[in-house]
Amino acid sequence: MRHEIVSREEWLSARKALFEKERAATHALDELRAERRRLPWVRIEKVYAFQGPDGKITLGELFGERNQLAVYHFMMPPDSDHICPGCSYTMDHADAARQHFEHADLSFAAVSRAPIGRIEGVKKRMGWTFPWVSAGDGDFSYDFDVAFTREDREAGQALYNYGLTTIKRSSDMFGLSVFVKDESGAVFHSYSTYHRGTELLMGAFNWLDLTPKGRNEAGGTMSWVRLHDEYGA
């Protein structure tokens, strides 16, 4: 790996110039995060029910005793044995981080359309401990724009990532949705993000972004990412 080599003084001058840009970006992100928190909410009128390892559980029950809930839409359709490496990469981060954010009034759960038996098998293999439930073929995944019927895909109406992408083949996609529960027990939808928006959840990228090679995606986006038990020595 070849790179420009300079004196310490030249490096410090270049680093300070970049530092000013980093500061400006940090302040811009602070403003963006504040605007995100000010988004209006939508009241959830449907009673969404899922299948968990212990039976039926509702969206409201996934909050536990907390007032906020993050749901990761894990891309696992009911008719596939594939385990999405990207979703798995994200969940490796979530399982480590949730011991912290759950103390800040945020519960977490993953939701897939795969049967709960399939989900439990993958969860055991990967060593994950977070709640992960099955939406089956209920409305939840469709209503939050991560599942698409064959008819919609064939008609060009399977819109993903707020209409930026039209899904033609995949029945399921990935994303994150955030919900809030008020004092009365009413549930509201406050935020959803898809596609590159989920990079917010991938802490390893931030480490790699500090290095000269960056994300090292020579073979394409996330080309090196594997299930964590499939990496070689």
89 shares its domain with 55 = yes
Kindly state whether residues 163 and 185 are assigned to the same domain: yes
**Quick check: 172 and 160 in contact, CB under 8 A?**
no
Please indicate, yes or no, if residue 189 is contained in any of the structural domains: yes
Distance separating alpha carbons of residues 138 and 49, to the nearest angstrom: 8
In a domain, 213, yes or no: no
Same domain, 21 and 47: no
Kindly state whether residue 218 falls inside one of the protein's structural domains: no
Which segments of the chain are extended strands (E)?
42-43, 49-52, 55-58, 68-73, 106-112, 132-134, 159-160, 165-166, 175-181, 187-194
Residue 181 and residue 139 share a domain: yes
Contact, 81 vs 115, CB < 8 A? no
CB count, 10 Å around CB of 109? 23
> Which pLDDT tens digits describe the chain residue by residue (233 residues)?
788 999 999 999 999 999 999 999 999 999 999 999 999 999 999 999 999 999 999 999 999 999 999 999 999 999 988 999 999 999 999 998 999 999 999 999 999 999 999 999 999 999 999 999 999 999 999 999 999 999 999 999 999 999 999 999 999 999 999 999 999 999 999 999 999 999 999 998 899 889 888 888 777 777 788 889 888 87
In a domain? residue 56: yes
Number of domains in the chain: 2
2 in any annotated domain: no
20 membership: H or E segment, kind and range: helix 8-37
Burial 84-107 (b: 16+ CB within 10 A, else e): beebbbbbbebbeebeeeeeeebb
Same domain, 144 and 59: yes
Question: Residues 105, 144: one domain?
Answer: yes
d(CA 29, CA 32): 5
The answer to whether 185 and 194 are in contact (CB under 8 A) is no
120 and 96 in one domain?
Answer: yes
Residues 116 and 78 in one domain: yes
Domain that holds residue 22: 8-37
Task: Identify whether residues 83 and 178 lie together within a single domain.
Answer: yes
Residue 144 near residue 175 (C-beta atoms within 8 A): yes
Residue type at 214? G
DSSP assignment, residue 188? E
Rounded distance between C-alpha atoms, residue 199 and residue 206, angstroms: 9
Question: Are residues 199 and 164 part of one domain?
Answer: yes
Evaluate whether residue 225 is within a structural domain: no
Give the predicted TM-score (pTM) of the model: 0.93
Q: Does one domain contain both 28 and 47? A: no
Residues 112 and 181 in one domain: yes
- CATH at residue 156: 3.40.30.10
